Structure 1
Amino acid sequence: MPVLSDKLFFWLFQGSPDRILSLLDGLPADAAGYTFSAPVLKQREYRLDGLFLPPANRPYLPALILEAQMGPDPVFLRRLYAETARLLQQEPEITNWRVVVISPSRQLNFGPTEPVAEFLERRVSWVELQPECWSQGAADQSGATIPLFQRLLGLLLQPEEQIKASSSQLRQQAVGTAAEAELDDVIAAILVSAFQAAQSLRFAPWAESPSKTSPKARSTRRSWASALPKAKPAVRPEAKPAVKPVAKQKKLPSSPSACWRAAAAP
């Protein structure tokens, strides 16, 4: 299934950089205040999926270099090593750093590990999204508890018939946590990325241009919209009659969850 991972992860982390911290071990419990960017590496004009810089007053925290790789690529590991080295050459102030790879599984064909074995062992943290890694007691192969945000990202790999049930389960688990308020938008952004719903409407700055949508695709989106709670009807004051009626411009949805409902509308 094609996934627009670059735009998805940029949106997920642009407004909440500290989301990345829940996916990582070995950082202080109070690590926070990271800033996020997606710098372009010079010469090849290659844009990283993300760069998280710690607060200026906490230089002992590592910079985090993000790469999302959702499919096999036999030269990925070599490219990851090379682009990391290019970033460090370009940004000499970065001395303490880690690489974070978000992927369905590290067992995909990413190429031979021997040439970059030390780099992988000492510098790379894997965030694996395979559903079987977290659906059994929400624990990975090592027995560690999978963070809620990582299980949310696992929706990218869920088959169509499981999306609604999985979303409801995750929403129940988020009740009473800091993630509850933003959960609907996160789920909607993931669904938009996974099923390319942005093709039918000019949703928002992070979405694609609109194009024609087949009845089957719109029907599918209506089924995924049921994974989100129904939006409360807006209370609109009675408008005073205008002297000269003017055609209303179509208002863009204000959030990913609103975008998804708009895409699912008949």
Structure 2
Amino acid sequence: MKTDKLFYRIFLNQPSLISELIPEIPEGCQFDYNAPVVKEKEFRLDGLLTPLGSDENIPLVFLEAQMQNDTEFYSRYFGGIFVYIHQYKVKRNWRGLLILNNRNQELGCEIPHGDLLDKRVQRLFLSDLLSLENLSPNLATLKLIVTPENDAVSEAQKILENTQTQEEFNLRLDLVEAILVNKFPKLTIEEIQKMINLREADVTQTRFYQQVLEIGRTEGVQIGRTEGTQEGEANIVIRLLTRRCGNLTDTLQTKVRSLSIPQLESLGEALLDFQDIGDLIHWLDNYFH
């Protein structure tokens, strides 16, 4: 699944997670988060956390999430960091934070980067969290990403039940919804809300729900749960795909038009993370597999 925007939301909504994972960063430290392009080699960094405030002892944090095998991952990650440091003449200390799926991932040779991985970079393997109980709310939210589907609903409910304030509940709900939408791509937002049994929460006020609706309003239709026809929904999704990925072949358009409204809604959410036409082909292959 595409995770860049998901981790962007997690770290913005849970700023204390940074200090929890990198202990030398003080709790309560605020960061500005962006995704800069390093121009010389066109490296794109998943996330750069830049400390706000005047304390220059707090490092930059180069954050990246990698859930799939990629034998060039480490070389690309460190290449991007050092090109960025050179390009922007960085004078502040830096740390790396990698969110990885498991310890068996093929991410490239570690030997050239051994000292950096040992001393500069904190690696969190999400699969390690599966055997742990009594996690902090921050880590429990990350654990939900790799929790098996059969256990995901109960884990999501535990996260929401352990909130102390309405504001905290809304933030957790925003993240839980986003994670479950990635985990259950064939379900609509409403079906996911019903699945986690939200009786009293005003889910329409969560940031995630509002973002999905806002995309639809921009195009004159709600992507979340449209009131229009399947044909109208398909036309909107095709227009969004064309704007994001370029012109679609007749074959691809036919496949999109054959999707049901719930499937089109899932595609409308997924396309936010698409980089090119290959992402669409991969998504459709998974659906028609």
Shared fold (TM-score greater than 0.5)?
Answer: yes
State the alpha-carbon separation in 2 of the partners of residues 254 and 174 from structure 1: 15
**What do the CA deviations read for 1:4-28 (whole angstroms, capped 9, x no partner)?**
1112223334566554333322223
RMSD between aligned residues: 3.4
Is 1:97 the equivalent of 2:49? no
Change (3 A) 1:62 1:178: farther
TM-score by length of 1: 0.69
Change (3 A) 1:27 1:169: same
**Matched residue, 1:73:** 70
State the alpha-carbon separation in 2 of the partners of residues 150 and 177 from structure 1: 20
* Residue identity in the other structure for 1:43: E
SS in 2 for 1:174: coil
**Matched residue, 2:208:** 256
Is 1:7 the equivalent of 2:11? no
**Matched residue, 1:39:** 36
**What do the CA deviations read for 1:142-163 (whole angstroms, capped 9, x no partner)?**
xxxx432222122222222211
* Residue identity in the other structure for 2:149: E
Q: How far did 1:173 drift?
A: 2.7
* Residue identity in the other structure for 2:115: E
Is 1:152 the equivalent of 2:121? no
**What do the CA deviations read for 1:207-260 (whole angstroms, capped 9, x no partner)?**
xxxxxxxxxx348972564225136579xxxxxxxxxxxxxxxxx986324659
Is 1:229 the equivalent of 2:198? yes
Q: Does structure 2 retain, via aligned residues, the 8 Å contact 1:228–1:257?
A: no
Match of 2:159 among 165, 170, 173: 170
* Residue identity in the other structure for 1:110: L
State the alpha-carbon separation in 1 of the partners of residues 202 and 78 from structure 2: 50
Count of residue pairs the alignment pairs up: 218
Q: How far did 1:71 drift?
A: 1.2
Change (3 A) 1:127 1:263: farther
TM-score by length of 2: 0.64
Q: How far did 1:56 drift?
A: 3.4
Q: Does structure 1 retain, via aligned residues, the 8 Å contact 2:173–2:206?
A: no
Q: How far did 1:135 drift?
A: 4.1
State the alpha-carbon separation in 2 of the partners of residues 53 and 137 from structure 1: 32
**What do the CA deviations read for 1:54-90 (whole angstroms, capped 9, x no partner)?**
1231111111110110111122112222111111112
Change (3 A) 1:178 1:15: closer
SS in 2 for 1:256: helix
Is 1:136 the equivalent of 2:135? no
**Matched residue, 1:126:** 123
Greater mean alpha carbon deviation, residues 49-58 or residues 171-180: 171-180
Q: Point out which structure has higher relative CO (alpha carbons under 8 A, 6+ apart).
A: 1
State the alpha-carbon separation in 2 of the partners of residues 23 and 230 from structure 1: 33
Q: How far did 1:97 drift?
A: 0.6
State the alpha-carbon separation in 2 of the partners of residues 17 and 185 from structure 1: 15
Is 1:109 the equivalent of 2:110? no
* Residue identity in the other structure for 1:256: F
Q: How far did 1:187 drift?
A: 0.6
Give the percent of matched residue pairs that are identical in Structure 1 and Structure 2.
24
State the alpha-carbon separation in 2 of the partners of residues 35 and 228 from structure 1: 34
SS in 1 for 2:161: helix
SS in 1 for 2:96: strand
Change (3 A) 1:167 1:27: same
Match of 2:25 among 12, 27, 44: 27
**Matched residue, 2:268:** none
SS in 2 for 1:175: coil
Is 1:54 the equivalent of 2:51? yes
Q: How far did 1:53 drift?
A: 1.0
* Residue identity in the other structure for 1:112: C
Change (3 A) 1:88 1:147: farther
